[in-house]
Every structure is written in structure tokens, then in C-alpha cells.
Amino acid sequence: MTSTPMSNIPEILARLRRSVAEGRARPIEWRRRQLDGLEALLVEHQDDFARALAEDLGKSPAESWLTEIGFLLTEIRYVRKRLARWLTPERVRTPLATLPGRSWVQREPLGLVLILGAWNYPVQLTLGPLVAAVAAGNCAVLKPSELAPASAAEMAQRVGEYLDRDGVALIEGGVDRATELLAEPFDAIFYTGGTAVGRIVMQAAARHLTPVTLELGGKCPCLVDRNVNLPVAARRIVWGKFLNAGQTCVAPDYVLVDRRRHDELLAAMVDAVGRFYGREPRASADFGRIVNRRHFQRLERLLEHDGSPTGRVILGGDRDADSRYFPPTILADVSPDAPVMQEEVFGPILPVLAVEDMDEAIRFVNSRPKPLALYLFSNDARLRDRVLGETSSGGVGINDVAMHTTVPGLPFGGVGPSGMGAYHGRHGFETFSHRKAILQRGTRGDFNLRYPPYTPAKMRWLRRLLGRA
Ligand code: NAD
């Protein structure tokens, strides 16, 4: 892997800060040019990106398109089409006490922002925030994850070719580069990754009072009620779980199913895996690989609990550490205390737990940290309202998994330990913008009322004007 020489970083940052000072990224034409550049970069090099993603994660070309390249193109086009409208100053009512006058909110760029990407969707999670950052008129430094080196190298090469070098820079490297960058003052930091590093990022940001967006993870529960179309539920759950070999922040982490449908759901899920990946998923072009040996070993450890197998293996099979092939694995009869139910799985292991009813499922979810996503499969509108009203999570999918992240109008982000702040579509534009409050008044007339000395008569009028008479 190439790595940006350390000495270059101060130089790069000085160049970008100069651009911020000159207002280089403010004009809408600059923003549109960067969005066009990003689009061209992705369209013209989609095969190169697909190759890099296959190298890093064994992603199939179809998956690379659906979850990275195509996803980003949709986002770019959505944002570009609406950008002028989002930039239009937003009029707000001016109260009596400040009349005559006009008030409005105007979005302005924050300045220079740092984007730290994660490895599981290395292109989407690095360039996606960039779409929002440049749309909002910021200069940006990207630091993709070192754990997806081929994708990082591809982005490093293309960003320099297609985007304004005085406005956007990509710095390759690992923890040392991230640490070096975090010591610098930025106007915003956007981080995607695990909770532990999220804390480090927030601490570093606090030194400069830099606002942060943290896109973190956690265990996303999937509740399956008794009254559902089980084959459809099973297909959707299995698809969302085994996509990218389970290395998806919004993948269903575990299933809580009504005891009465437990066995049927297991059978339907095994059937769905067979249909998607065949009897030998290792041979399927559509099933990915674990990112590295460390994560492979971490997943192996999750299959054990106190020296015994974790639960009953409903589906699984041979693994291959050399090629980092970890098969789709479904576990039943899992103890809530098992490690696989304590930490985020982030791999192709799906524990399924039976519950008496959905009340128990809701209590279970509420006894644990707030997740990034929560899924409910049910046709019962009352239960749906209860789950929405009684639980908290970054997002919710009802009768589907992961797909809510593809709706551009919906904010994507966590709550509590699953993160803070959000992006996608307008929400990303807002995240990277400052909402400047403006009141403009004329100078022809000037009521004396607000100026001292405050006589009783003036106070009476003021109280009346301010609505507290
Ligand atoms: P990672 O190891 O790729 O790290 C993410 C970024 O943090 C990288 O750029 C890395 O260089 C940097 N980093 C790592 N250690 C650092 C340190 N000590 N100091 C400063 N920077 C450091 O990613 P990860 O943490 O393995 O990602 C997996 C986690 O991310 C999972 O928990 C997953 O759920 C979560 N995730 C969340 C989202 C989301 O959008 N909410 C998306 C993907 C992944």
C-alpha cells in the first residue's frame, strides 16, 4: 500500500486552508464541477473500482455496483438536482418587535472538513460523505480505511485526476496518519467506524471544539412476529445478513422470533441461503470474503462460548482461513450471554433467539444499547406503532432490512452509542453546512422604545410587544 508521506500533510492542509480563506469552494459552479467530477470518476472507472473491491472484500461486480458505485451515482444525481434549491435563503417570520425587517436562514460552508472512512463499504463510506461536503461548499481531506488498501489506492489515484486538487485531498495510511490528521484543527470531522475509535475521534475533536459526525455500529436487532409471510421475511433477512459476508453496519445482527414460528423461520432461512449461494457458498461469485485474518479469527471465537459451541449450528460448514472464506452460519438456541450476543457480529453469523412474544422482544431490545437500525417483520399495525414508540434506534425497517438506507430523503445515522449526526441527501448537505441566522432592518425609522432610560410607560409597551403583557 502506498502511504502519503508524513511531511506532505502540513503542506496539503496549508493549501486547502488557503482555498477556504479565498472562498474557492463557495460558488455553486465549483460544487457542481466536483459533483460532475465524482460522477465521471465513478462511471469511467467502475471496472477498476469493482476490481479493487473484489481484491479487498471478494465483492461481486453486482454487489459493488448496487452498494457502492450505483448507490453513489444515485446520491450524486439526487444532490446535484436539488442543490440550488437547498442554497436558496430560507425566509422566516419576523416578529412584531423587530418590524419592519426581514429574517432568513442562509447555509454557508463550514470550511475544511476531515472524512475518515471505514473498510466495509470503502468507496461508498468515503466518497458518500464527500458528496455532501462539496455540495455544502467545503474543502475536504479524505482518509480512507487502510484495511481496504486496493480501494484506497484506486480512490487516491482518481480523486487527484477528477477533482480540484486545491479543494479536495486524499491521504492514504493507517492509524498513524489518522492520528496526525486528528491533531490538526478542522471545521468538522466525519467519522465512520467502530465505537472505540469514535471516542478517540471525539476526544481529538474536543481539543479544537470541532463538531463531529460519528457513524458508528452496534447490534441491529431483527424482530419477527408470528403473523408474517415467512418465506419473504426469511429471504430479506438472509439477503441483508449475508450481503458483503455480513460486514454491513446495518445488517441484522441477531433475530428475535416468536417461539411459534421459530422452526419454520430457520427452515425458510436455510432454504433462502441455498437459493442465493447454492449448496457450496464458497463457489458462489456472489458471496464475499472476510476483510482480514484478525476479523476472521474474531468471528471464529464468536462460535464458542465458555469452551463449548455457541448454540446449535443450523447452517454453517467448513471455513478457510487462507482465502478468508467464512460460510453463511445460522445459530439457534443461543444464550443472550454468549459473546456472539454481546459484541457486534459484523460477519456472516446469525444468532436466532426464540421469544415468548413481541413484548419480550421489545424488553430485550430496550435492555441493550440503542442500535443503528432495528427491523420488525409484522403485519400488525398496533405492534408496529408500539415498536416505533417504545424503542429507540438510528433507523427502522418494517418488513425489510437495510433498504431504508437507500431512501435519499431519509437521514442515515445512529443515536446514542450507534452514533451522532446523519447524512444522505439533504441531511448530508445540512450536516456540512452552518445555518446562519440573519435579520436585516432598515434605518429610516427608529423606535425609541428599546433604548434606555426604561420608563414604566416604555416597559408597558415593551411587555405588550413581546407578548407578555
Ligand atoms: P476501520 O478500522 O476501517 O476504521 C475506520 C477509520 O478509523 C479508518 O480510517 C481508520 O484508519 C481510522 N482509525 C482506526 N483506528 C484509529 C485510531 N486509533 N485513531 C484514529 N483513527 C483510527 O473501521 P472499523 O472500526 O473496523 O469499522 C467497523 C465498524 O464500523 C463496525 O462497528 C460497523 O458497524 C461500523 N460502521 C458503521 C457505519 C455507519 O455508517 N454507521 C458504516 C460502516 C461501518
Nearby residues of 310 by Cβ (< 8 Å), 6 or more positions away = 302, 303, 304, 331, 334, 335, 338, 339, 340, 351
Residue in 192, 201, 248 to alter for ligand 1 test, most ligand atoms within 8 A of Cβ: 192
The DSSP letter of residue 324 is: T
In this predicted structure, what is the pLDDT of residue 453?
96
Which of 63, 75, 172, 215 is catalytic? The answer is: 215
Q: Whose CA is nearest to atom 10 of ligand 1?
A: 145
Residue in 67, 197, 393 to alter for ligand 1 test, most ligand atoms within 8 A of Cβ: 197
User: Measured in angstroms, how far is the CA atom of residue 196 from the centroid of ligand 1?
Assistant: 9
Q: Give the three cell numbers for residue 214.
A: 460519528
Which atom of ligand 1 is the closest one to the Cα of 179?
20
Q: Is the CB of 192 within 6 Å of ligand 1?
A: yes
Which atom of ligand 1 is the closest one to the Cα of 249?
34
Q: Is the CB of 168 within 6 Å of ligand 1?
A: no
Q: Whose CA is nearest to atom 1 of ligand 1?
A: 118
Which atom of ligand 1 is the closest one to the Cα of 200?
19
Which atom of ligand 1 is the closest one to the Cα of 414?
41
pTM of the model: 0.95
Pseudo-torsion of CA 438, 114, 112, 180, nearest 10°?
130
Beta strands, E only, 382-426: 395-398, 419-420
Nearest CA to 233 out of 205, 256, 202 is that of 256
Q: Is the CB of 247 within 6 Å of ligand 1?
A: no
Please list the residues that pair with 376 across neighbouring strands: 223, 398
Longest Cα–Cα distance of the chain, Å, equals 88
Q: Whose CA is nearest to atom 27 of ligand 1?
A: 193
Phi, psi of 75 (to 5 degrees): -65, -45
Question: Cα 150 from chain centroid?
Answer: 21
User: Measured in angstroms, how far is the CA atom of residue 291 from the centroid of ligand 1?
Assistant: 13
In this predicted structure, what is the pLDDT of residue 1?
46
Answer whether CATH 3.40.50.300 is correct for domain 221-413: no
Contact indicator for 213, 189 with CB cutoff of 8 Å: yes
User: Measured in angstroms, how far is the CA atom of residue 178 from the centroid of ligand 1?
Assistant: 11
Nearby residues of 246 by Cβ (< 8 Å), 6 or more positions away = 345, 346, 347, 348, 349, 350
Q: Whose CA is nearest to atom 13 of ligand 1?
A: 175
Which of 68, 75, 249, 344 is catalytic? The answer is: 249
Residue linked to cell 460522477: 39
User: Measured in angstroms, how far is the CA atom of residue 144 from the centroid of ligand 1?
Assistant: 10
Which atom of ligand 1 is the closest one to the Cα of 217?
34
Q: Is the CB of 119 within 6 Å of ligand 1?
A: yes
Q: Is the CB of 141 within 6 Å of ligand 1?
A: no
Q: Give the three cell numbers for residue 43.
A: 462511471
In a structure prediction context, what are the per-residue pLDDT tens digits for the chain, which is 469 residues long? 455 665 599 999 999 999 999 999 999 999 999 999 999 999 999 999 999 999 999 999 999 999 999 999 999 999 999 999 999 999 999 988 888 899 999 999 999 999 999 999 999 999 999 999 999 999 999 999 999 999 999 999 999 999 999 999 999 999 999 999 999 999 999 999 999 999 999 999 999 999 999 999 999 999 999 999 999 999 999 999 999 999 999 999 999 999 999 999 999 999 999 999 999 999 999 999 999 999 999 999 999 988 888 999 999 989 999 999 999 999 999 999 999 999 999 999 999 999 999 999 999 999 999 999 999 999 999 999 999 999 999 999 999 999 999 999 999 999 999 999 999 999 999 999 999 999 999 988 888 888 999 999 999 988 888 876 4
Q: Whose CA is nearest to atom 41 of ligand 1?
A: 215
Contact indicator for 398, 386 with CB cutoff of 8 Å: no
User: Measured in angstroms, how far is the CA atom of residue 117 from the centroid of ligand 1?
Assistant: 7
Please report the sign of the dihedral spanned by the C-alpha atoms of residue 191, residue 192, residue 197, residue 202: positive
Contact indicator for 299, 253 with CB cutoff of 8 Å: no
Q: How far apart are CA 333 and CA 20, in angstroms?
A: 57
Q: How far apart are CA 269 and CA 271, in angstroms?
A: 5
Is 215 tagged catalytic? yes
Phi, psi of 307 (to 5 degrees): 80, -5
User: Measured in angstroms, how far is the CA atom of residue 222 from the centroid of ligand 1?
Assistant: 23
Domain boundaries, the chain: 6-216+419-433, 221-413
Answer whether CATH 3.40.980.10 is correct for domain 6-216+419-433: no
Is 249 tagged catalytic? yes
